[in-house]
Amino acid sequence: MSRKSWLKHLLVVAEVVLIISLIVVNLKLEPKNENQDLTLGKIDKQEVELLVQNQPKVRPPSRGFGDIIGTETPKPVVLAAYSGPTPETTKEPTSIPSKKSYSIAAYGDSMVDTMGGNLEYLKSSLEKMYPGISFTFFNYGIGAENLESGLARLDQRYSYHNRSYPPITQISPDILIIGSYGYNPFSPYDRNKHWLKLSEMVDRAKEVSGSVYVLAEVAPLASGFGEGLGGVNWPKDLSSNQARIIVEQLENAAGVAEEKGVGFIDVYSKSRVPGSKYGQPEYVSTHDGIHTSEAGQVLTAEVVASTIKLP
Strand partners, 280: none
Across 51-90, b (16+ Cβ under 10 Å) vs e yields: eeeeeeeeeebeebbbebbeeebbebeebeebeeeebebe
Q: Domain for residue 141, yes or no?
A: yes
Q: Which position has the higher pLDDT, 48 or 289?
A: 289
Residue 55, pLDDT score: 36
Q: Evaluate the CA torsion angle 291, 229, 185, 282 in order and state its sign.
A: positive
Instruction: Flag whether pLDDT at 298 surpasses 60.
Output: yes
pLDDT band at 75 (very low <50, low <70, confident <90, very high): very low
Q: Domain for residue 103, yes or no?
A: yes
Q: Domain for residue 57, yes or no?
A: no
- The pLDDT tens digits of the residues spanning 116-159 come to 999 999 999 999 999 999 999 999 999 999 999 999 999 999 99
- Exposure of 86 in the CB half-sphere (CA atoms within 13 A): 10
CATH of the domain at 177: 3.40.50.1110
> How many domains are contained in the chain?
1
CA distances from 147 to 115, 156, 187, 206 (A): 18, 15, 12, 16
Q: Domain for residue 39, yes or no?
A: no
Q: Domain for residue 51, yes or no?
A: no
| Section 51-65 average pLDDT | 37
Instruction: Flag whether pLDDT at 223 surpasses 80.
Output: yes
**pTM: predicted TM-score of the whole model, two decimal places:** 0.74
- The pLDDT tens digits of the residues spanning 85-110 come to 444 554 677 778 999 999 999 999 99
Q: Domain for residue 3, yes or no?
A: no
Instruction: Flag whether pLDDT at 35 surpasses 50.
Output: no
Question: What range does the domain containing 220 cover?
Answer: 65-307
